[in-house]
Chains A and B, each alone.
Chain A
């Protein structure tokens, strides 16, 4: 029995004092003697041949130390490796992805040369002096056009299709033949940018004496980055150290191995000087991965009572010009999660990954699951609208029953546990759903457009079992009881805002009965921390925390032996109770973990054969993913005159299993909702047809400020899981996944009087205004053809 005081409590984060006082260390704060600065020369074209690059004017700059092109790196110096792609996919086309472009550029912002100078200002000045002679080629940015044929992003492939993955389950043809209604809709999930406020930053240093490369990088995956850098640069992995100090947000975008990280490392080795590169925000928009960008064509077969009997689906994923680490994985995850929290046994689908002249898409908060949740949650509303049923009732009719877990879906995932109806009922009760519908009817009589949107989501997280992962799926933890009784925790996950320095200390404090402030949690340095996989996919606590729990168990077992030896007791008669080691039934004999640690350190107080020291390193390989779920309710009012949307209420009832620190969980949900809501209403990365990026700064790309998002009400239910020993499910992506469809469903619901059935995101005022006007002038517009509004 754990002695619990910390877990479950709202403990203030121990990482915060340094962050609120400006004493944190982000990569750009790392100061090394002799640092020089890199600047990249980037393609202004979406697609072009490189005829010639003249570095001479840059090299003539008095502050410049060196400049290199792709030819220099890949041909003269023999760097042949492409950037890594972690995939397990048959027949995936993987064109070379050089760390500096060779011969051809395939997207705006692709780096063609690097310039190194004594100051950051001089490096940028000199980069502008590099003369590149381009021969512009036709570009393609729309994945549907790219599917049709030329122009090809990679001419040598003779196609823009990177992969096709067909899928079928059940008997979809029969389901469609027997359907009362078939609802068809194309749903576009627009391209968005992750926009962590800290841009990508890196400092590389080569220690010639120790033959050691050290790269400080704003990464989510220091160990995977080390492994891949070693491969790309041809350096023994144990001579590469990567450090992720404080990292200013990631959202999946820093779960990657970027060309710049390899280039800066290589340049540091050439010059034997520390080399720093911090991207500008416009470079970040060009060359940090983007998210989403799918065109999903759906057909839903249903019966009159709202039962969904079949799904036909084509997912076209815009991959961008090259694969980054997880690019091809994302649209396949969408297919896996296509049924959502519903019983849909009959599915036929095809996933198509398409190259275009744009930055790669990759794992952005939710990665594949927000897309799936968005189309299936829109689909349920479309069915309700067509049949004149209430969207809550259609959901209830199709939910996987709470008695059916573990439940294996038609797409092959096994949902660990769930109770979808309970979160929905709780949410509907809190918002007084019936009352809201009555209010809506009243307001409609007055000509006001109020909308109520639901989203009942399930997501896959706690990434994940290694067998199902493109890289490894386990994670690690070390606990070291130091001679003075303080405790060092080394975790293989690499948090960047998720607060695991606190939650992990909470777990250890309770289980080992030590004061929380005697625990120091260390992460993000490959020379200190044993190999770990990193922080992404809501896996930090679900996998890394589970490894920590295993390490605690090992420590406890050894401490019990040490104490038993002191008391000349049988270890079977000794246990951890209320945070102390005690003889069972005799509380007068007790010992703290610190005391056992000291005895273990002294060595001569140990039972024969027991190794000195009280530390443990354990790894946790999860047997399955975990599947958090919940219901989000959004209430909006749309101004018919301007098309503006005002969110008047937002409620999320989430179930992420056990809550270790409710304050941190709520913070994750808040931030997630803001990102998902923002995709629904504001955000969109736009390239023009020639591949120019039109949303290249924060002046053209809208991430919301405080006035643009509402107050959120949160509640939760707790459904445990046996997938990990902590009983937790992970919550980092839940808000983003749940919110987007809730917001869009609310806006479409508000527009029901005009017969509008669907508008693609982002739901900007002019789009809504246009839809209203089209309906007014055409008489119910497309809505009339698609069935009556409620």
Chain B
């Protein structure tokens, strides 16, 4: 059957069997693999996405139930060029290790702060009850959500991974074939 969705701001339609889970529609049909599957019982929250701005577990919904609605996945929360403050906070606070639960955790935390912009640590812990992490012991996740809350309340500008990590771009245009590459910083080094 035909499903019409708006995913990360883009309208899309797909033909799917009625039992297709939303998470599989996102991952396997739309290629948005940032949403993960960790359990079969809605227990772990690795598959959390926003449906019309509210967090839901996409392994517990049929894709057809999302028809006509707005879905935001981690790919729509932010990317390397424009990190969401929550993503940056997880990075800075070391709020992740293997990263598998992280995308769902970030989406849940974004929703939590929408509902409660200045939560206490206890409220953060309670608010993330539906997301399991096996690596971090939650300590740094709580720290990350607290920091993100502060940044969002203060309207900190979004930053990019390139700014924060300064990945070196290639020094020059690639040379014509056959020419030896001598990066500028090395030219003259051998003389």
Contacts and interface: CB of A to CB of B under 8 A. Distances in A.
B123 to A, nearest CB: 10
Interface in A11-30: 12-26, 28-29
Given A22-B74, A498-B97, A663-B94, A707 B137 contact: no
A197 B132 contact: yes
A697 B99 contact: no
A26 B100 contact: yes
B22 to A, nearest CB: 14
Contact of A671 (B80, B129, B134): B134
Given A19-B96, A20-B102, A484 B134 contact: no
B138 A22 contact: no
Interface string A581-603: 00000000001001100110010
A21 B83 contact: yes
Nearest to B136: A671
B79 to A, nearest CB: 5
Interface string B64-80: 00000000011100111
Given A197-B98, A485-B183, A21 B46 contact: no
Given A197-B98, A664-B94, A711-B121, A670 B126 contact: no
B38 A197 contact: yes
Nearest to A12: B91
Contacts, number: 222
Nearest to B167: A517
Contact of B40 (A282, A499, A667): A282
A491 to B, nearest CB: 17
B190 interface: yes
Most chain A beta-carbon contacts within 10 A, residue among B31, B87, B99, B102: B99
Interface stretch (B50-58, B139-147, B150-158): B139-147
A19 B34 CA distance: 8
Contact of A22 (B32, B142, B167): B32
Interface stretch (A72-80, A243-251, A306-314, A374-382): A243-251
B92 interface: yes
B190 A517 contact: no
Given A199-B38, A706-B142, A21 B87 contact: yes
A474 B68 CA distance: 57
Contacts of A663: 94
B189 A599 contact: yes
A196 B98 contact: yes
Given A595-B189, A671-B135, A698 B126 contact: no
Contacts of A703: 132, 134
B113 interface: no
A595 B190 CA distance: 8
B125 A198 contact: no
Interface in B147-179: 161, 164-168, 171
A518 interface: yes
A497 B97 contact: yes
Contact of A281 (B38, B131, B133, B182): B38
Given A21-B75, A280-B40, A706-B142, A484 B171 contact: yes
Interface in A654-674: 663-664, 666-668, 670-674
Contacts of A21: 34, 74-75, 78-80, 83, 87, 161
A249 B185 CA distance: 41
A699 B183 CA distance: 58
Q: Could you say which of B27, B35, B102 has the most chain A C-beta atoms within 10 Å of its C-beta?
A: B102
Contacts of A486: 168
Best-buried of B40, B73, B142 by chain A (most CB within 10 Å): B40
A631 B46 CA distance: 34
Contacts of B63: none
A496 interface: yes
Given A197-B132, A483-B181, A19 B99 contact: yes
B101 interface: yes
What DSSP secondary structure best describes chain B's contact surface?
loop
B30 interface: no
Interface residues of A, number: 76
A198 B40 contact: no
Contact of A709 (B34, B98, B101, B138): B138
A321 B41 CA distance: 27
B7 interface: no
A433 interface: no
Nearest to B124: A706
B96 A20 contact: yes
B5 interface: no
Contact of B100 (A196, A595, A697): A196
B181 A667 contact: no
Contact of B43 (A199, A247, A671, A698): A698
A711 B132 CA distance: 16
B38 to A, nearest CB: 4
A764 interface: no
Given A594-B185, A712-B139, A517 B165 contact: yes
B78 A499 contact: no
Nearest to B17: A121
A195 interface: yes
A22 B32 CA distance: 8
A705 interface: yes
A595 B186 CA distance: 6
B10 interface: no
A483 B14 CA distance: 48
Contacts of A602: 180, 190
A515 interface: yes
Contacts of A256: none
B134 A675 contact: yes
A49 interface: no
A250 B27 CA distance: 23
Contacts of B121: 711
B46 A197 contact: yes
Contacts of B126: 706-707
A13 B94 contact: yes
Contacts of A197: 36, 38, 44, 46, 98, 100-101, 132-134
Interface of B: 17, 19-20, 24, 27, 31-41, 43-44, 46, 73-75, 78-80, 83, 87, 90-92, 94, 96-103, 106, 121-122, 124-126, 128-142, 161, 164-168, 171, 180-183, 185-186, 189-190
16 contacts: A17-B83, A17-B161, A21-B161, A23-B79, A249-B135, A281-B38, A497-B99, A515-B168, A595-B189, A599-B189, A667-B136, A668-B97, A699-B43, A703-B134, A706-B125, A706-B133
Q: What 3 A-B pairs have minimum CB-CB distances, sorted nearest first?
A: A22-B34, A248-B100, A19-B99
